[in-house]
Amino acid sequence: MNYLSTRDETRTPATFTDILLGGLAPDGGLYLPESYPELSTQTLDSWRGLDYPDLAAEILKLFIDDIPADDIEAIAHRAYTHPKFASPEIVPVTELGEGLYIGHLSEGPTAAFKDMAMQLLGELFEYELARRGETLNILGATSGDTGSSAEYAMRGRDGIRVFMLTPAGRMTPFQQAQMFGLDDPNIFNIALDGVFDDCQDVVKAVSSDASFKSQHKIGAVNSINWARLMAQIVYYVNCYLKVTDSSEEKVSFSVPTGNFGDICAGHIARQMGLPIDKLIVATNENDVLDEFFRTGSYRPRGSAETHKTSSPSMDISRASNFERFVHDLLGRDPQRTADLFGVKIKQGGFLVDAAELSRATEDFGFLSGSSTHADRLATIRDIQERFGYLADPHTADGLKVAQAVREEYGVETPIICLETALPVKFAETIEEALGAAPEMPERFAGIMDQDRHVADLPNDAGAVKDFISTSINKTEV
């Protein structure tokens, strides 16, 4: 299994472990498999009954041929364990009613779906670094959940430091407490004066400096890293197998998304042959992706146009994973992908033609919708009253859009909404919706009382580079 950059006209292949530690390709593109492995109905049926770690190992082996199979199985079993994940199932699936299901992705140590990929990434990084005798300095950006998931997955690991950029004042108190409460010597929190997209731009700017990246051994855990998406494919297959009795049946997925990483994994699973009917993109008021799937216009927005909402992890106006899907939509044309994402984006965006937009829906199964603060409050109340399930604001976006799209397009297959996080992470919105804050799970007792460890920096790549250099010189891993 080889990997190619979305922008590489020479089509120079790389192996899995070549791209694992780096993230962004040298040409600025994102890595994808040279071709997607195929899932037959026989293979899917043979996987029914596997527990989550064994299922993960089977899927990982389809994408990794430069790590021994026995080691992949051991890595998967270390990543997905109970009680590190609160449920022995790792990802339970429950039926709400009326054809709606919840895929519970929030059972991990930080109560967010990002744990599903990060716990695996931590194991893969530590394994490969030990094999090479190297160290890695991870640079990432978070709008709320990626950062804490990455830090909890990497804390205390040999050979790894984490530098995580956050938008100052734009995460919930619980999210800040989870991250800034960590005092591990290999964890560095940075509050940047800007929004998430500014943080993401700084990560890309630093990663694009080939000399700095090489000298300081900079790696990535954001969803630009292929291994993140690979790990996320597993829970699509897991949820599908739990909802169906036969691999001839189809299901749809509704996915709250801002960065297009979570649903991009669903796109890849569908391309592999997982019987997915529709992939429903659920956005909040930052509806850049909904606008694309309805009009064909992809128009990223600046900081001033990025709304601060009650589903803050989706307050994103430049979806870094969208390039992977568009690359597939364009027939894997690297020259055109490089033009759209390397040139046109800087000029304000791009427009695909009517035939290509139609393919996004007809050939790739995408539908979309958006949600507002009022929609979130109403959905949280409605779902709680009708089904007894308490949704966090992002999952509420997914549920609202799932129901709206079903009505608008007549979707008849069961819809699995992928849960984003536990409600406790967004207590203010839950209290506004229901009149009472959600209960604090016992495993998070006292989290709000911890001391905070964070550096405030300006929105400047040079300042971040200086901080990284100084911190590396001061600490050993």
Q: Is residue 349 located within the same domain as residue 428?
A: yes
Is the residue at 440 inside a domain?
A: no
- Residues 205, 254, single domain; the answer is no
**The pLDDT value given to residue 113:** 95
Within a domain: 445? no
**Cα gap 137→188, rounded to integer Å:** 10
Separation of alpha carbons 363 and 359, rounded Å: 5
Mean pLDDT lowest among 70-84, 91-105, 206-220, 334-348: 206-220
In tens, the pLDDT along 349-368 reads: 999 999 999 999 999 999 99
98, 16: one domain: no
The verdict on 66 and 156 lying in the same domain is yes
Instruction: Give the Cα-Cα-Cα angle 355, 417, 197 (nearest 5 degrees).
Output: 65
CA–CA separation, 158 and 128 (whole Å): 11
pLDDT tens, 395-410?
A: 999 999 999 999 999 9
Residues 6+ apart with CB under 8 A from 466: none
* Angle, helix 173-180 to helix 145-154, in steps of 10 degrees: 20
| 299 within a domain of the structure (yes/no) | yes
Whether 439 is in a domain gets the answer no
Q: Domain check: are 212 and 306 in the same one?
A: no
The helix/strand/coil state of 165 is: strand
Among candidates 36, 57, 5, 422, which has minimal Cα distance to 231?
57
Q: What is the three-class DSSP state of 176?
A: helix
How do residues 19-45 score in pLDDT, each as one tens digit?
998 777 889 899 999 999 999 999 999
| Same-domain pairing of 103 and 244 | yes
Beta strand 366-370 pairing with 415-418: unpaired
Q: How does the average pLDDT of the chain come out, rounded?
A: 94
- 147 in the same domain as 69: yes
With DSSP H G I counted as helix, E B as strand and the rest as coil, what are the percentages for the chain, rounded to 5? Answer: 50, 15, 40
Instruction: Quote the pLDDT of residue 320.
Output: 87
For the residues 73-99, what does the mean pLDDT come to? 97
Q: What is the CATH number of the domain that holds 144?
A: 3.40.50.1100
Judge whether 441 lies within some domain: no
Considering the domain architecture, whether residues 339 and 216 belong to the same structural domain is answered as no
Domain that holds residue 36: 3-84+113-225+450-474
Q: Are residues 197 and 49 in the same domain?
A: yes
Total domains, the chain: 2
299 shares its domain with 421:
yes
Give Cα separations from 360 to 55, 161, 292, 351, 363 (angstroms): 29, 39, 10, 13, 6
Instruction: Identify the pLDDT of residue 477.
Output: 73
Q: How many CB atoms lie within 10 A of CB 48?
A: 13
pTM for the whole thing?
0.92
In this predicted structure, the answer to whether residue 128 has a pLDDT above a threshold of 80 is yes
**Which pLDDT tens digit goes with each residue over 240-263?**
999 999 999 999 999 999 999 999
The three state secondary structure string of 270-321 is HHHCCCEEEEEEEECCCCHHHHHHHHCEECCCCHHHCCCCCCHHHCCCCCCC
Structure tokens at 306: 């990025």
Angle of helix 196-208 versus helix 461-474 axis, rounded to 10: 70
Retrieve residue 374's tokens: 């009022």
Residues 346, 389: one domain?
A: yes
Q: Is residue 286 part of a domain?
A: yes
49 part of a folded domain: yes
Catalytic residues: 114
pLDDT for residue 224: 82
Regarding whether 204 and 101 lie in a shared domain, the answer is no
- The CA radius of gyration of the chain, in Å to the nearest whole number, is 21
Q: Is residue 161 part of a domain?
A: yes
| Residue 110 contacts residue 171 (beta carbons within 8 Å) | no
199-224 confidence digits (pLDDT tens) = 989 998 998 888 998 899 998 777 78
Q: According to the model, what pLDDT value does residue 136 have?
A: 93
Residue keyed to tokens 């026989």: 42
Contacts with 186 (C-beta within 8 Å, 6 or more apart), sequence order: 154, 155, 156, 157, 160, 161, 162, 475, 477
